[in-house]
Amino acid sequence: MTMTQILSGVVLVLVPPAWVARGRYGAAAVTMALGAASVVVTVAVWLLGRWAEGQRWAGLAGLVELAVLLLSVVVSLRAEDGPRCAAAAWTACGAVALWPSRFAFVEGPADTLTLFGFGSMLSLPAVLVGLYLRGLDEGRREAVAEARRAQRLELAHDLHDFVAHDVSGMVAQAQAGAYLAGIDPAGAAEMFQRIEQAGQRALASLDRTVQLLRSEEQGDRGPQPGLAELAEVAERFTATGGVNVRLELPEEPVPREVEGTVHRIVVESLTNVRRHAPAARAVEIRACRSGGRLELTVTNDGRAPGPAGRPRRGGGSGLPGLAARVEALGGSLEAGPYEREAWRVTAVLPLEEAGTGPA
């Protein structure tokens, strides 16, 4: 094996160990090492004698070497950023530009410009591809981070909507149980069992929500509650005592995001009835399709305090947060007094805009 063959394979021999070391030292360090090795080979060729154009082995190995250097530039620019990455890219691109000088002497400005043009022609596309891929990766990471933030905000709303509903029911049952303890011990015992069940549901919701909020990876939340689950919500609310819930739902299917929003509005409305309308004895929940819209009304016969025409803001972030969610879907939500001592929550949600057509 001649010295020419040995020199032409130096960089290729270094590729496997450099690839193994990439995980420890980073792609930029590997690119700089390969580029420096290529420059050293070029200088050695200058000192030992230029290659002849008819040496096929040297030419073939050199082309593979160029491909390796350009690929390492793409990988390093995609994986890293900063001065170290820039230095690595300059080193590798410089090695690419110097590669033709292994076959001919550089004499005068014309040859220098030829080397510069050769290096630019090969290096510039590699640099642009690496920067483009890094931009795609950064955009993807930002999109994932934004999705996680939105998910955490949604989970915070879930924590308010569902846990507050169970806790408010526990408070009402505890008050009733304290009253029944002296006159109906059996009824009081049953009431305390319901309080225990509601507490277990609230704790389970808290555990799931906090676990997902703490997780760095996007969790699988499973299917979101919709219209089908409202019957159970109404039965459970009625079973806590004192308020009879009448439920009317559409038979035709509606978009899933509309179902989830309707479920949240109903749960929040029932929670507010428990908190702010202790005199209420009946709640009517009515959801019906009207043209391309779904109209939802939740009416109780015991007025809750709050300004008319807008969601009440004194008791928490439930209805204001739901109003923003409804507006994001292209609908509207209002809450206010209705017919003497009643209170009504009204939501209008578009169906076609939400991504549904005829069932």
* pLDDT for 298: 93
pLDDT score of 348: 93
- What percent of the chain stands above pLDDT 90? 12
Domain segments of the chain: what residues? 3-105, 226-359
Specify the 3-state DSSP secondary structure of 348: strand
- What are the C-alpha distances in Å from 107 to residues 94, 111, 112, 115, 203? 18, 6, 8, 11, 81
pLDDT of residue 132: 93
Task: Return the CATH number of the domain spanning residue range 226-359.
Answer: 3.30.565.10
Q: ∠ CA(71), CA(77), CA(78), 5° rounding? A: 90
| 282-290 and 244-248 strand pairing | parallel
Coil vs helix vs strand at 15:
helix
pTM of the model: 0.46
Q: How many other CB atoms are found less than 10 A from the CB of residue 73?
A: 30
pLDDT digits (tens, 9 = 90+) for 124-163: 999 999 999 999 988 888 887 787 677 667 666 666 666 6
Tell me the pLDDT tens digit for each residue of 95-105: 888 878 877 77
8 A C-beta contact, residue 225 and residue 265: no
Instruction: Give the residue-averaged pLDDT of 213-218.
Output: 52
Average of per-residue pLDDT values in the chain: 78
pLDDT tens column, 15-27: 888 888 887 888 8
